[in-house]
Amino acid sequence: MVEAQLVLTALMGLFLAGVAVWLSRIEDWRSYTPLAGGGGAVGEESGYAHDEKPSGLIRWLTTVDHKDIGILYGAYSIIAFAVGGIMVILMRTELLTPDEAIIGSQFYNSLLTSHGITMLFLFGTPMIAAFGNYFIPLLVNAEDMAFPRINAIAFWMLPPGALLVWAGFLVVPFTDIQPAQTAWTMYTPLSAGVGTGTQAGVSGLGIDFMLLGLHFTGLSATMGAINFIATIFTDRGSDVNWANLDIFSWTMLTQSGLILFAFPLLGSALIMLLLDRNFGTTFFLAEGGGPILWQHLFWFFGHPEVYILALPPMGLVSFILPKFSGRKLFGFKFVVYSTLAIGVLSFGVWAHHMFATGIDPRIRASFEAVSLAIAIPSAVKVFNWTTTLWGGNLRLTAPMLFCVGAVSNFIFGGVTGIFTAAIPIDLVLHDTYYIVGHFHYILMGLLAFTVFAGIYYWFPIITGKMYQKRLAKWHFWLTMIGTNITFFAMLLLGYLGMPRRYATYTFGVGPQQIIEVLHQVTTLGAFILLVGQIIWVWNMIQSWYEAPTLQDNDPWDLKETGQFTNEWGWNERRLETAITDGGEEEETAMTDGGDPVDGSADTE
Amino acid sequence: MSERTFDRETLLDLTVNIVPLGILTFFILVFLFASPWELDPFVTAISIGLLVVPFAVLVLVTFVSGRAVARDEQSATAAGELSASDATLDSGVEEELVSDDHPESDDDQSESDAENDESSDAEPDDAGGDEDDEN
């Protein structure tokens, strides 16, 4: 019986592979280039869209320009980052004392759930899409994204998604509906509404809202991924080929491939969970498919999601770090191939999140093996970055500082991850703060750091201005110190056995006092991070509005080291065009706000 | 074809993915020949499949991407040779590609110097100069 099922599965796999091969042989997919066709339905207007953009709010509501959509993605993500950050500040404040003192445990659970979902789905993924939208077409010399309108739709699915994810908080003052309290993993049977707690019945509608919101964000990510793949494959300029495609585009391409296979599966699993909750199906109930089925489906999406959030940041480091090292990226192709290796292997490690669930030890062993194997391509990148720095002419500008900080944090996050790939160690550390510390070293230490690096690096292109150097340094050092205080203390808490997700820690056993101190240290780190991010937001907004317009299109002196890449070339052409179009009024406006920038001013 | 596409340099680049493939091979052999559990066809098929499928897909992706990169590299180099006397964009690409070849195999100092002298990154500097302006 079981063997027959295996044979059937193998036959179906072969059939699907055959279909894929057949499709690839009968059709030349590169012929689908609407931009090259002239008069195509999409993309054609992007060349002159800038001149005809409506003004004010209507511009932002109707735009299909990849740069505008990139800015929309960025603004949306930063708002989500702020919301998620405020949530965690409330949680860390509660954890200053072992008792339930400031916010209730139910509210804590709700914040915990929304913090995770917000940071991963509403900040991380869209923020990467922001960079991708703005810069991929520029880097590959495309006129716009392959499908500009789909690009706009993909973005506009996100705000309703966010409202639904946060809906529980918005309606709780007026109704009996509670925000979801399932943690971001939404493990069944809790999330399936079993029992009589706050997650079932009317009060559990917050979960339904959240699941629908997640579905929106998943659709958005999938449409965006298809767009990136189509753009890089079919719309790149004639001078950009696979041999000289930049490293950020490579990582975005790989990430988009991961999204394409991972997010639809999450969407399907979410629908099944909604059916279980509302229509009496038993996909994830003990009498049906079982709670472990949810974990398999969720983590088959969830682990690639980790790399969806990590690969483009790795690409940003690989892209930006050489610019301030005065030399090219060491072993460029090693980084490309290791990126692809990570992409493939990321689908083969999902059950290392489930070592403690009691699955067959022989199956666990296989997942351990692949988890160990995936460490190699990740480590290769670290060596490439280090070697690029080695002997280079380093310039410690804000983007460079954030890149170096990201490499440092990634080593912490990566090495702590290797340990948990080993089953015996994982069984001890599972569900402790060690895991929380480990993945925050990746998500905050790598993802957020590279986001900051990217924003600082491309700030002159996006705004035509330069940020304030001193504030940027403050931002970096507060973020670096805050990150390491917060998450290193979490690693120690994990070693002491502190379980994650708890609103209180009045155990009565164990080293209670040390745990309390470490929690307070963690909270101190979180507040340092908060101060750093407030400085950053202030710097961005004030610099955008009040900084003098940059006269120099090469603020990083990239031409000196031969690293003046396509997006800066595009910006140079844009500025030249603007000067010829602008006339005297433009000149006057450009000097408004201060003296011309030079190297000795308070800006970089 | 494959002999020309996968030359020594390309194979050297691909070694980065051979290491995880080697780890997977090691575990496949261990689980097949040194397993402490008795052989159960179903579980063995699943557990070995969990290693073989990523192995096969990684081989495939490495092969396809390596071939695509090597082919474009060769065609760009050929184009660069044709137009080298005019010092056009393509010759820049050629220089970059030549310089990008395996700094790992050179000694550190000469590589560093060469890279600092080069006038290009992963992307050609002046690439797109002949493209339509975005605006």
Pick the more confident residue, A459 or B86: A459
Residue with the two structure tokens 């925000």 = A179
Among candidate residues A341, A349, A251, A418, the one with its CA nearest the CA of residue B18: A341
- Give chain B positions within 8 Å (CB) of A343: 61
> A46-60, A119-133, B115-129: which has the minimum mean pLDDT?
B115-129
What is the three-class DSSP state of A499? strand
- CA-CA distance, A361 to A348, in Å (whole number)? 16
Angle (nearest 5°) at CA A500 between A494 and A204: 175
Contact (CB<8Å) A340/B65: yes
Instruction: Report how far apart, in Å, the C-alpha atoms of A215 and of each of A164, A180, A220, A265 are.
Output: 10, 15, 9, 11
- CA-CA distance, B51 to A345, in Å (whole number)? 10
Give Cβ neighbours of residue B74 (< 8 Å, ≥ 6 apart): B4, B5
CA-based nearest distance B110→chain A, Å: 12
At residue A375, does pLDDT exceed 60? yes
- CA-CA distance, B121 to A561, in Å (whole number)? 9
* Contact present, A354 and A299 (Cβ < 8 Å): yes
Smallest Cβ–Cβ distance between B20 and the set A341, A569, A578 belongs to A341
**Per-residue pLDDT tens for A209-260?**
999 999 999 999 999 999 999 999 999 988 899 999 999 999 999 999 999 9
Give Cβ neighbours of residue A182 (< 8 Å, ≥ 6 apart): A113, A190, A191, A199, A207
Q: What is the SS3 string spanning A154-172?
A: HHHCHHHHHHHHCHHHHHC
Query: Which pLDDT score is estimated for A447?
Result: 97
Interface probe, candidates A67, A299, A317, A328, chain B, greatest B C-beta count within 10 A: A328
Query: Which pLDDT score is estimated for A510?
Result: 81
Smallest Cβ–Cβ distance between B41 and the set A3, A46, A574 belongs to A3
Contact (CB<8Å) A365/B31: yes
CA nearest to B37 within chain A? A362
Pick the more confident residue, A38 or B25: B25
- The answer, for B94 touching chain A at a CB cutoff of 8 Å, is no
Query: Which pLDDT score is estimated for A30?
Result: 59
- CA-CA distance, A338 to A76, in Å (whole number)? 31
Centroid of chain to Cα B26 = 23
**Per-residue pLDDT tens for A552-594?**
889 999 998 889 999 999 998 888 877 654 444 444 434 334 4
Smallest Cβ–Cβ distance between B51 and the set A50, A366, A390 belongs to A366
- The answer, for A577 touching chain B at a CB cutoff of 8 Å, is yes
- CA-CA distance, A563 to A328, in Å (whole number)? 8
Could you give the domains of chain A? Answer: 60-590 (1.20.210.10)
- Give chain A positions within 8 Å (CB) of B72: 241-244
At residue B95, does pLDDT exceed 70? no
Query: Which pLDDT score is estimated for A45?
Result: 41
Q: A-B interface: how many C-beta pairs under 8 angstroms?
A: 208
Q: What is the ipTM of this complex?
A: 0.83
Contact (CB<8Å) B53/A51: no
- The answer, for A261 touching chain B at a CB cutoff of 8 Å, is no
Instruction: Report how far apart, in Å, the C-alpha atoms of A584 and of each of A52, A356, A548, A550, A591 are.
Output: 22, 69, 17, 17, 11
Mean pLDDT of A154-176: 93
Interface probe, candidates A359, A362, A363, A371, chain B, greatest B C-beta count within 10 A: A362
Residue with the two structure tokens 């690989």 = A318
Contact (CB<8Å) A574/B134: yes
Place A53 in a pLDDT band, splitting at 50, 70 and 90. Answer: confident
At residue B132, does pLDDT exceed 60? no
- CA-CA distance, A416 to A426, in Å (whole number)? 11
- CA-CA distance, A459 to B113, in Å (whole number)? 30
* Contact present, A473 and A398 (Cβ < 8 Å): yes
Mean pLDDT of A28-46: 47
Contact (CB<8Å) A237/B108: no
Contact (CB<8Å) A376/B20: yes
Pick the more confident residue, A581 or A12: A12
Contact (CB<8Å) B76/A574: no
Among candidate residues B90, B58, B57, the one with its CA nearest the CA of residue B73: B90
CB neighbour burial string for A536-550, b if at least 16 within 10 angstroms, e if fewer: beebbeebeeebbbb
- The answer, for B129 touching chain A at a CB cutoff of 8 Å, is yes
In DSSP terms, which residues pair with A432 in a beta bridge? A499
- CA-CA distance, A76 to A125, in Å (whole number)? 11
Contact (CB<8Å) A239/B48: no
CA-based nearest distance B6→chain A, Å: 14
Angle (nearest 5°) at CA A413 between A440 and A492: 75
Mean pLDDT of A460-488: 96
CA nearest to A320 within chain B? B121
**Per-residue pLDDT tens for A427-449?**
999 999 999 999 999 999 999 99
Smallest Cβ–Cβ distance between A6 and the set B35, B45, B51 belongs to B45
Question: Can you list the pairs that A515-522 forms with residues at least 24 positions away whose Cβ atoms lie under 8 Å?
Answer: A515/A98, A516/A97, A516/A98, A518/A489, A518/A492, A518/A493, A519/A95, A519/A96, A519/A98, A519/A489, A519/A493, A520/A96, A521/A485, A521/A489, A522/A92, A522/A95, A522/A485, A522/A486, A522/A489, A522/A490, A522/A493
- Give chain B positions within 8 Å (CB) of A380: 16
- The answer, for B12 touching chain A at a CB cutoff of 8 Å, is no
Query: Which pLDDT score is estimated for A130?
Result: 97
Sign of CA dihedral A348, A352, A358, A362: positive
CA-based nearest distance B49→chain A, Å: 9
In DSSP terms, which residues pair with A499 in a beta bridge? A432
**Per-residue pLDDT tens for A527-543?**
999 999 999 999 999 99
Spell out the alpha helix ranges (H) of A140-282. 148-156, 158-165, 167-171, 205-234, 247-278
In DSSP terms, which residues pair with A603 in a beta bridge? A468
- Give chain B positions within 8 Å (CB) of A337: 13-14, 16-17, 62, 65-66
Residue with the two structure tokens 């290791």 = A338
CB neighbour burial string for A459-488, b if at least 16 within 10 angstroms, e if fewer: bbbbbbbbbbbebbbbbbebbbebbbbbbb
- CA-CA distance, A72 to A453, in Å (whole number)? 19
Interface of A with B in 406-425 (CB under 8 A): none
Angle of helix B41-83 versus helix A332-345 axis, rounded to 10: 150
- The answer, for A143 touching chain B at a CB cutoff of 8 Å, is yes
One-letter amino acid of A20: A
The phi, psi pair for A51, rounded to 5°, reads -70, -25
Instruction: Report how far apart, in Å, the C-alpha atoms of A339 and of each of A31, A308, A332, A370 are.
Output: 27, 11, 11, 16
CA nearest to B26 within chain A? A369
Place A67 in a pLDDT band, splitting at 50, 70 and 90. Answer: very high
- Give chain B positions within 8 Å (CB) of A237: 127-128, 131
Average pLDDT over chain A, rounded to whole? 89
Smallest Cβ–Cβ distance between B122 and the set A329, A360, A376 belongs to A329
Mean pLDDT of B63-76: 89
Pick the more confident residue, A386 or B122: A386
Pick the more confident residue, A141 or A32: A141
CA-based nearest distance A246→chain B, Å: 5
- CA-CA distance, B10 to B4, in Å (whole number)? 10
Interface of A with B in 452-511 (CB under 8 A): none
* Contact present, A120 and A305 (Cβ < 8 Å): yes
- CA-CA distance, B89 to A312, in Å (whole number)? 28
SS3 content of chain A, % helix, strand, coil (to 5): 70, 0, 30
Query: Which pLDDT score is estimated for B4?
Result: 64
What is the three-class DSSP state of A197? coil
Angle of helix A449-463 versus helix A398-421 axis, rounded to 10: 150
- The answer, for A592 touching chain B at a CB cutoff of 8 Å, is no
Interface of A with B in 28-87 (CB under 8 A): 46-47, 50-51, 67
CA nearest to B88 within chain A? A239
> A53-67, A349-363, B26-40, B107-121: which has the minimum mean pLDDT?
B107-121
Contact (CB<8Å) A574/B135: yes
**Per-residue pLDDT tens for B108-129?**
333 333 334 433 333 333 333 3
- CA-CA distance, A55 to A74, in Å (whole number)? 20
- CA-CA distance, A274 to A449, in Å (whole number)? 36
CA-based nearest distance A237→chain B, Å: 7
- Give chain B positions within 8 Å (CB) of A45: none
Instruction: DSSP letter for A432, please.
Output: B
CA nearest to B25 within chain A? A369
Residue B54 has, within 13 A of its CA and on its CB side, a CA count of 33
Instruction: Report how far apart, in Å, the C-alpha atoms of A14 and of each of A22, B43, B61, B104, B115 are.
Output: 12, 21, 18, 40, 47
- Give the global pTM: 0.83
Query: Which pLDDT score is estimated for A262?
Result: 96
Angle (nearest 5°) at CA A37 between A35 and A40: 70
- CA-CA distance, A369 to A376, in Å (whole number)? 12
CA-based nearest distance B87→chain A, Å: 15
Pick the more confident residue, A546 or A198: A546
At residue B106, does pLDDT exceed 70? no
Give Cβ neighbours of residue B14 (< 8 Å, ≥ 6 apart): A337, B6, B62, B66
Cis omega before residue A399 (within 30°)? no
Give Cβ neighbours of residue A469 (< 8 Å, ≥ 6 apart): A398, A602, A603, A604
Instruction: Report how far apart, in Å, the C-alpha atoms of A585 and of each of A18, A74, A571, A578, A581 are.
Output: 63, 30, 21, 12, 10
CA nearest to B65 within chain A? A337
In DSSP terms, which residues pair with A468 in a beta bridge? A603
Percent of chain A at pLDDT > 70 equals 91
Give Cβ neighbours of residue A70 (< 8 Å, ≥ 6 apart): A129, A130, A131, A132, A133, A134, A135
Query: Which pLDDT score is estimated for A20?
Result: 85
